[in-house]
Amino acid sequence: MGQLVISETVITALSRLVDDGQAEVKREPTHSAIEFQIDKARLSAGDPSKTGQVVGKAKRVRGVLSWGMENAPLNASQFAEALLAVVRGSGGFRETSPNYAGREAIIDAIAAFRSEGYELSTDGELRPLLLDSLSGKPLTEALNAYVRRARAGALDAALVTGTGKDLLEATAKHVLMTKFGTEPTITNFPTLLAQAFIALGLCIEKSAARSPQERVDAALYELACGVNALRNAQGIGHGRPFPSTVSPDEARIAVESMGAVADRLLTQL
């Protein structure tokens, strides 16, 4: 699975899954199990327990993830996925287990992760949200989640998991499907994107721009075409959004650009 982008929504969901502060009998994972994952993810600097504070598990997880979100997002992602696996392994998603996290906490976690572009099953398995079976408003919401991940620089958001499309292609097709009610058959990316821009009343040619916003829109169209050309510069292996000749910094900037263009289309939609 690609990098899980940590957000306040995800932090709240994970904190609730380990929260047993009001329970008469404490449940797993224990503080020591949580601390092991904190140390493994190299996030001890954000652990409030290391500063002498006496905190519950929920507050501890919230503090570590909040610190990690700002200072070490990759480490925070590693810790979040590991913690979720520990909760699952402890029976946190099994109703008959003494460590059951609770129906409301699980339902809220499913909704929280879905809003960030992930599907959390009722038994605790986490995977990127597949878009092929979605349409209408649910697809718009899922694409918006990918946009947020792209704008945070998450490379996996460039390749929309479970489809043959990348983020911009998926967004352009969704725009045209929403506007005209039929699946577009265009395979040429610049033409497909141009039709999506035009369908939304957005300018695609700098020479035709009559306002600063139209100049921005025309620049976004050219930027998207440039990113697409970069993606198609040479063969790309499975799960790799960009050719190996593209540096990590260039890839991150390209993905963030994809997020900005897709965001413009979805906002206008």
* pLDDT of residue 186 exceeding 60: yes
Give the 3-state secondary structure of residue 1. coil
The arithmetic mean of pLDDT across residues 194-222, rounded, is 95
Q: What is the pLDDT of residue 223?
A: 95
Give the C-alpha separation, 257 to 231, whole Å: 13
* pLDDT of residue 233 exceeding 80: no
pLDDT band at 204 (very low <50, low <70, confident <90, very high): very high
Give every CB contact of residue 256 below 8 A, 6+ residues apart in sequence.
Answer: 150, 151, 152, 153
pLDDT per residue as tens digits for the range 12-29: 999 999 998 887 788 999
Two tokens, residue 162: 């479970």
pLDDT band at 235 (very low <50, low <70, confident <90, very high): very low
CA geometry: angle 106, 22, 97, nearest 5 deg: 45
| Number of neighbouring beta carbons within 10 Å of residue 2 | 18
Total H helices, total E strands in the chain: 10, 2
Averaging pLDDT over each range in 40-44, 49-53, 185-189, 244-248, which range is the top one?
A: 40-44
Q: What is the pLDDT of residue 237?
A: 47
Strand-pairing partners, residue 166, are: 159
Contact 123, 95 (CB under 8 A): no
pLDDT band at 1 (very low <50, low <70, confident <90, very high): low
Q: Is the dihedral of CA 34, 39, 45, 49 positive or negative?
A: positive
Give the 3-state secondary structure of residue 43. coil
Q: What is the pLDDT of residue 163?
A: 59
pLDDT per residue as tens digits for the range 52-66: 888 999 999 999 999
